Structures are given as structure tokens and as C-alpha cells.
Structure 1
Amino acid sequence: MRQRRTNSPGSTVQLNERTEILRLKREIGLTSAVSLIAGTMIGSGIFMSPEWVLRNIGSPAGSLIIWAACGLLATFGALSYAELGTIIKESGGEYIYILRNFGSLPAFLFAYTSVIVVRPAGVAAVSLSFAEYAVAPFYPGCSSPQVVVKCTAAACILLLSLVNCLSVRLATSLMNIFTVAKLLALLVIVVGGVVLLANGQTQSFQNAFQNTRSGAGAIGIAFYQGLWSFDGWNNLNYVTEEIKKPEVNLPKAMMIAIPLVTCFYLLVNVSYFAAMSPAELLSSGAVAITWGNKVLGNWVWLISLAVALSSFGSANGTFFSGGRMCYIAAREGHMPDILSMAHVQCLTPSPALIFTSVVSLIMIIPGSFSQIVNLFSFTAWLFYGTTIAGLLYLKIKKPELPSSYKVPIIIPILFLVASIYLVLAPIIDQPQIEFLYVILFIFSGILFYFPLVRYKLHPTFLRKFTLHLQLLLEVAPTEKDVN
């Protein structure tokens, strides 16, 4: 906290209070850190993606291998990010690591893509899946009207925006509660699977590798669908400046959350295959509901409720970190100044959160779940690989940098190889025009970078507009806290 000498003691106190207001607080402890990771990872994916993983890979055994490999890859990524987080102790995740290692233009392209596409797409996809399960009980025996589904998803986004703008503590408390609820829901499915296996329902595991596909593109798309369920393993790096003792809690939370989630995912998939044949699973529009009809009978509504709550909790975690991404990019001068400000009383980055919610609302209008997942995954893994390349650069060129945690170099190397494969394999083996659109969109950011960031050609009306928004939203610029 900075202090100035003045003739009036009162003015010094006023400056101190003001300085404290303009800095986000460290309110995320170990429990909340674990909940932020696990609570974001366990969303709609495990209740929807198994069908798509099986559809692309072709066999039950192949599906289980994909799920285990996804968990291992997420663990490798988290270990690598943990070291980055203890070297570069700033919030912002991939954005801040790319900025510090590769410079302004690559970081801007990531921020431009992430703020406008990747993070809002994640919020939109999870909100749509929440809406599907939330409204399904009101339309038994038929598909839910898309207007109702999308209006419910919009209501979910607006509620999350309100909660996250009001209080960091309220948002993290919700994450803790929903994480416990969804772990209990997964535990019900796991126990149900154990009972089925004990009763001899093992037909799906006979000739379990039959029909396995080995094409690079098929495996890549299967990974996209599986890794969607693990998305959130890197969320803690977006809020490093808000974590208590990040040098300790950052790696510890990752080592608790990700193996826990991976074990649950594998056991849940085994339970699905115990209850359903591969053909039944492929024909199921909602895998968890089909499982509930077979195993729980009249209590299947519990699964609908659990999936809805799980998706809502995951959307909360995605929204929480997505708003911080936008906020940090603006603080570094890569986004409009208003997005770098925080509410003077609630100490939340409310302009960035509101902007993220607006873009997410726009994306739910034309989007479908599977389309959003594939485009999200392709873009995300492109930048994950870039981030890990930065870590390898630091480990090789600057090994003297202080870090309380170091990962063996083979782990980020393996993660980088996997990232390159996940970006290139679908393009080479199963080219889709959507991938070209994503690449063109990323590089279109260059058109905005040079006039707005490099040469700072800001129109006068924008400054006046920013001032009016400050007064309306009661926000002010913030300071970093990397101590």
C-alpha cells in the first residue's frame, strides 16, 4: 500500500482507504481453489460427452482409454501451469504468460480470440446444457422447444453475471456448494455402476475393443469431446492475484482436484457401459438420463436435477475466470480501459463480467453444443501449446528464475507434443471449413492491434464514453498485487 506525506493526516488516511479499494482481495483459499478447478471441470461434459467420445472412437475400451488419456493430459498441463504460476505471479492465465514470454502481439491475438470467442463460447455451451436438463422435466416424451431452452440459458447467464458482480466471496461460496453437490451426484452413478457390475451386467466389456477407430482425425475429435469435460483445469491461473499463498495453494489445489475428477470420470463411464450397450448409449440424447431411467426408475428426476446443478456450477466457474481474462487484458492495455476497472465497493471486475455475459448471450442464439465444443477446443489447444512453449523457453534459457515449484521438463514436452497433435490431426484427417474460419478470425486481430494498441489511436468520444460508464457503474482503475 502506497502512502504519501501530507500536511493533513486525514488526507493520508483517505488515500490509504482509496488505494485499498482499488485492489482485488486475496479471498480464495485452498478449499475454494479446489472447488474452482473441480467445480468448473465437472459440468455438463461428463453427462453429455461420453456419447460423442464413443461415436468418434467406436468402442467402449477405446472410450475409456481416451478418458484416462484426457485426465493424464490435463494433469500434465496443470503441473506445467503450476510452475508458470509460481514464476509469473500475475492473474490472466495463458494471456499473461504469452505476454511475458512472447510479447504484445501474440498476447493480444490470444486476448482478442479468448475474450470474444473462447471464454464466452464456454459459458454459452455450459449454459445451454444447463438449460436442456433444467427444462426437460417440463416436456416429458418430446424435445424441449429451442426458444425455451435458449431463454433459460440466457437467464442462467444473467444470474451468474449478477452473482459474480456482487461479491467474490458469494461466487466462491456457490462454487463450494455446487462442487459438493455434483460430487455426490457422480458418486450415486458410480455406486449404481458397482451394483450393476456385481449383478453380472458386463456385456459391454466383452470384445471391448471391437470397432475401435484408429484414424488421427477421429482420435483428435474424440479427445476434443473428452477434454471438454476436463476444461477448467487451468482456471486457477486466471485468478493468481486473488489466491491466498499462491506459491503453495496453486500446485496443491491442482494435485487434489484433477486426479479426483479423473477417477470419478472413469468410474462414471464404466457405470454407463454397465447400464447400456454401446448402441443404446449412441442412441441416447442424454446419457445420464438414459442411465437414470434404467437404474433409478421413478427417481430419475434426481439425475436431471444433478446435471442442471452441475452445469450451473460449472458455468459459474467458467464465468468467474472468463471475466478475469477480460479484466487482465484490459489492465495491460489490450482491451478498452473500462474493462480494467473494478467496482469501488464490491471489489469485483464488474465491467469485464458484464461484457463477458453480453457476448455469451449473443453466442447462445445461433450456437449448438457440439459445434461450440469443437471450435472452442481447437482454439484453446492452439494457445495451450503456445503457453507451454513459453514455459520450456523459461526452463531452458532462464533456469535461474525463482520458483517454489518445478515440474520435470519431460512433462511440458509431452504436453506440447499432444497440443500440436490435437491442433493438426483434425485439420489434416477431417478438414472442416469452420477451422479455417477460426484461424482467419485469430489473425484478423492484427487489423485492430496496430491502430488501437501499437499506435494508440483512440478516438476522443471513447474517453468521454469511458468516463460516463465509470460514473454509471461506479468503477475505478485497479492496481496489481503480485506480492
Structure 2
Amino acid sequence: MDDSSMRKKHETQNGSSLLTSSQSTEEQSGKATVLQKEVGLVSGISLIVGTMIGSGIFISPKAVLLYTGAVGPCLLVWAACGVLATVGALCYVELGTMITKSGGEYPYLMEAYGSIMAYLYSWTTAMVLKPSSFAIISLSFAEYASTPFYPGCSPPLVVTKCLAAAAILAIVLVNCLSVKLANYVQNVFTAAKLLIILVIVGAGIVLLAQGKTENLLNSFEGGTTTFGAIGLAFYNGLWAYDGWNQLNFITEELKDPYRNMPLSILIGIPLVSVCYVMVNVAYFTVITTTELLQSPAVAVTFGDRVLHPMSWIVPLFVVFSTFGSANGSCFTAGRLTYVAGREGHTVKILSCISLRHLTPSPALIFNGILAIFYIIPADINTLINYFSFAQWVFYGLTALALIVMRFTRKEQPRPVKVPIVLAFLMVVVSCYLVLAPIIDKPDLEYLYCTIFIFSGLLLYYPFVYHKVSWAQKFMSPITMHLQLLMEVVPPEKIK
């Protein structure tokens, strides 16, 4: 479509200039300009498994062991994190089948608490949580991809940062071009990561059968039981499990969500939980606790000791794993930003859809740009703690929203209804994970995070609530020209 034909579709809506999406069905090959339902059961499982199994299992074992102090508590934390992820996902199944809107926690917070809470979530998640997660995974990808080229030392930071930025650009491009292509990439890389998990677990079982159990004896000696340390151990373990709520970000693109959402979760999350515990057991068959804490890349160290001379397959498949996880993170992050823009909580351009590819390309590009900025600090542990603190605030509020709507939305159909005790458990655990590290070790990063969350109100009242006219007049020509440049339009309203 050329610029002149798009300009003919110009109209003024609420004081802002937007090009409309009122094309004929013939021009769009029979498809309306909305996100299409192209994610089935296999792709749903791949999205959950592929996003969860990424950098976490190759980074977090060191941090979980550091905060637990011994092998036994470490393995218990990994198992408990799997149970908690399953409980949280089941709560989200009820919410996702009751409110069939994309955007993750955003529509649930909107329904339960109103516009302000939903806005603070979208502000925090779109600006910090999702892009920082994308950046962390991409840095992990870059670290594993570059490590074989620098034997005996760590890769230079400039190399890992540039490689991570290149990965982000490639993933954003794939997701902007096609939903089907992004799903295909996700399925392929999920298969690759399950293969390397199977190799590591298989090698571990063989070693256990050969009697390599020295590191598993007296496994609870020296364990840490302090209030804050256990909380930080869960932070890092749950970082590896993060992704259990990914389907709720793309509910509008799920085929038969009432069937495929619960099935994907009940298959995907237990599979990941078993893999994680078994991988950690495999690590401890040949790596002592001291060696594991000193290893820059735990999976690579394991491969060097067990799979030589085929040890090169471990970093190769870990690269595949982290790339697939980053792809899943990008896929869902764009949907949150898109939905927030559609509700008027971000600038309108972020709610637009590509005319050619029917993808939320402005939202995807925006997330990618922020992720590149978050690469600059390159302090992965600080980013994980910062990410986890804010994320679990909203996980707890979302679980509470399920309880609230049992009373305020009694008449609303619930195709899937979970025991309310699960929601109460999620609220209690969320409060613990938010408060325990702060009480035990009150770092300034938690204060910065809290200030950032509430700083969104400085933008909410003038630009969202009051809709000041000068801001709309300023943004109108910018929005129109960006639409023309990217060939994007607002989504059609399907009646």
C-alpha cells in the first residue's frame, strides 16, 4: 500500500490522528487487521517449555546453591519452585478462560482493581520487566555463544554485549515478519533444548548407576536456613521457571483457549519441573559445590568432564536454548504493550498492527529497543533480583484478583474453576518472596523499583486520565508519520 492510499484513510479520533484499518476483505486476503488465532496445542506447549527452559537452568543453579548452601536444600528449592509455578499457572488458567483477552496480568488487574492498577502493571512491565528479561536471556545467549572462542578466560564484555544486541535485532525481525514464523522458530528451538536436556539427564543417570554419588552424600550439611537467603534462592529458582504464565499474554491468538490453555500448562510445566531437578542432580554427579560456584558456565563445565570429545555440543545446544527462550519472551512482551496501547495506557502507535504481516510490530520494536538499552549494565544477578521483586508484586496482586472476582464477578462464566486455596497460597508465597529479601538485606534496588512503579502515576493523571489536549496535538502528526513509515494501522473492532 502506498502513502497516498494510506493517507485517504486518515481520520481524527479523540483528538489524535490515526490511519484506520477499514480495508476490504479482498485487500487483506479475507483477514481482518487483528491478531490471528494461529497458536495451537503444540505451539502452546512449545511456548511454555521453550520460554521456561532458557538461560535459567544454565545460570540459576549457581545462585540457588549460593543462597541455600548445600545440595539437599538446593534440590528441594528447585522442586518447590516447580510446584509453585504449577499452582500459579492453574490460577491463571481460571483467569484466562474467564477473561479471554491477551496481555497477561493486565486485563485481570483491570477487571479486579480498575484502570490505575492495570496502568501501573503495564508501565512497570513494558518499561522494565519484559525488556530486562529479554536482555538477561540475550546476554546469556551471548555468553554461551562466545565462551568456546575464549578458552581459559571470560569473553570480553564488548563481545557479549554486541552479540546480545544482534540476537535481539534478529528475534524482533522474525516476530515482526510472521506469527507462524515465530512459532516455527519456537518449536524448532524447543525441540533442540529438550534434546540437550535429555543428553545431560541421560549422562547423569549413567554416572549415578556407576556410583558417582559422592557430592550427594550428607547433602544437607552446611545448608542455609535464614529467612532472606531462602527467599533469594527462590528468586533465582523461580527466574528459571519464569514463563509459566506466557499463554495468558496471547489468549486472543490461541486456538480453542478453553481446551488448549489448561492442557498446555498441565503438560508443559510438570515436564519442565522434572527436567530441572534431574539436570541439577546430573550436575552434582561430577561437579562439587565449590566447583559449581566457581564455574562461569555450569553446563559447559559438565560437558567438558562427561562428554569429551563431544563436549562442544553442550554450548551449541545451550545457545539454541537461550535463543528460543529469548524468542518466546519477545513474542509475549509485544502483546502486553499492544494491549496496553489499545486500552489507551501507552501511545497509540504501540497499539497498531502491521497491514502486511498482521503482527504488533511497533510494540515488538519498542520492546527490542528497550532490551538493547538494558544490555548496557550487563549485571545479570542485579537484573534478576530487580526483575523478581517487581514481578512477584504483580503475581501476588493477580492471585488476589482471582479471589476478589469470586465475590465481585460471581455471575461471570468460569469454564475452568480451581480451588480458591490455590489462590490464597499464591498470595502468601508472593508476600514472602517480596518481603523476605527486603527484611533480611534491605538493598536500595528494591526502593528504586518501588519508586519507579509509582512514578508511572506522574504520567497517568495528565496523559491517560485527563488526556491533556496539547499532548494529543503533539503526538498526532508523529503517530501518523510513524504509521506511514511502518505501514501499520489500529486493530479493527470485531463485533
TM-score above 0.5, yes or no:
yes
CA shift, 1:264, in A, is: 0.4
Give the alignment of 1:377-396 within 5 angstroms.
377-396=388-407
Matched, 1:219 2:230: yes
Structure 1 distance, partners of 2:493, 2:45, is: 24
CA shift, 1:459, in A, is: 4.0
Structure 1 distance, partners of 2:308, 2:152, is: 15
Summarize deviations over 1:303-357 as a string: whole Å, max 9, x none: 1001111000000000000111110100000000000000011000000000000
- The aligned counterpart of 1:451 is 462
- The aligned counterpart of 2:266 is 255
Are residues 12 and 456 of structure 1, via their aligned partners in 2, closer, same or farther at CA, if it must alter by over 3 Å? closer
- The aligned counterpart of 1:130 is 141
Aligned counterpart in structure 2 of residue 460 of structure 1, from 467, 473, 482: 473
Aligned counterpart in structure 1 of residue 420 of structure 2, from 409, 420, 426: 409
Structure 1 distance, partners of 2:154, 2:309, is: 20
CA shift, 1:367, in A, is: 2.9
Q: Please say if residues 175 and 181 of structure 2, whose CA atoms lie closer than 8 Å, have aligned partners that are also in contact.
A: yes
Computed over aligned residues only, the root mean square deviation of the Cα atoms, in angstroms, reads: 1.5
Matched, 1:59 2:73: no
The amino acid of 2:164's aligned partner reads A
Structure 1 distance, partners of 2:479, 2:328, is: 28
CA shift, 1:14, in A, is: 5.3
Are residues 18 and 452 of structure 1, via their aligned partners in 2, closer, same or farther at CA, if it must alter by over 3 Å? farther
Name which of structure 1's ranges 368-377 and 70-79 shifts more when overlaid on structure 2: 368-377
The amino acid of 1:58's aligned partner reads G
**SS of equivalent to 1:348:** coil
Structure 2 distance, partners of 1:358, 1:309, is: 22
Are residues 157 and 480 of structure 1, via their aligned partners in 2, closer, same or farther at CA, if it must alter by over 3 Å? farther
- The aligned counterpart of 1:284 is 295
Q: Please say if residues 21 and 345 of structure 1, whose CA atoms lie closer than 8 Å, have aligned partners that are also in contact.
A: no
- The aligned counterpart of 1:477 is 490
Matched, 1:96 2:107: yes
CA shift, 1:431, in A, is: 1.0
Q: Please say if residues 25 and 347 of structure 1, whose CA atoms lie closer than 8 Å, have aligned partners that are also in contact.
A: yes
**SS of equivalent to 1:201:** coil
The amino acid of 2:486's aligned partner reads L
- The aligned counterpart of 2:161 is 150
Q: Please say if residues 21 and 344 of structure 1, whose CA atoms lie closer than 8 Å, have aligned partners that are also in contact.
A: no
The amino acid of 1:284's aligned partner reads S
Q: Which runs of 5+ in 2 are unaligned?
A: 1-21
Aligned counterpart in structure 2 of residue 182 of structure 1, from 187, 190, 193: 193
Structure 2 distance, partners of 1:116, 1:300, is: 39
Aligned counterpart in structure 2 of residue 115 of structure 1, from 126, 136, 140: 126
Give the alignment of 1:25-104 within 5 angstroms.
25-104=36-115
Structure 2 distance, partners of 1:103, 1:362, is: 31
CA shift, 1:18, in A, is: 9.0
Q: Please say if residues 289 and 303 of structure 1, whose CA atoms lie closer than 8 Å, have aligned partners that are also in contact.
A: yes
Number of positions where the alignment pairs a residue of Structure 1 with one of Structure 2 = 472
Q: Which runs of 5+ in 1 are unaligned?
A: 1-10
CA shift, 1:405, in A, is: 0.7
The amino acid of 1:460's aligned partner reads K
Give the alignment of 1:278-317 within 5 angstroms.
278-317=289-328
Are residues 434 and 411 of structure 1, via their aligned partners in 2, closer, same or farther at CA, if it must alter by over 3 Å? same
The amino acid of 1:462's aligned partner reads M
Give the alignment of 1:318-333 within 5 angstroms.
318-333=329-344
CA shift, 1:276, in A, is: 1.1
Are residues 429 and 176 of structure 1, via their aligned partners in 2, closer, same or farther at CA, if it must alter by over 3 Å? same
Name which of structure 1's ranges 457-466 and 299-308 shifts more when overlaid on structure 2: 457-466
The amino acid of 2:440's aligned partner reads D
CA shift, 1:394, in A, is: 1.4
Structure 2 distance, partners of 1:392, 1:220, is: 24
Matched, 1:340 2:365: no
Summarize deviations over 1:241-267 as a string: whole Å, max 9, x none: 000000111111000000000000010
Aligned counterpart in structure 1 of residue 439 of structure 2, from 410, 428, 435: 428
**SS of equivalent to 1:298:** coil
CA shift, 1:126, in A, is: 0.0
Are residues 31 and 12 of structure 1, via their aligned partners in 2, closer, same or farther at CA, if it must alter by over 3 Å? closer
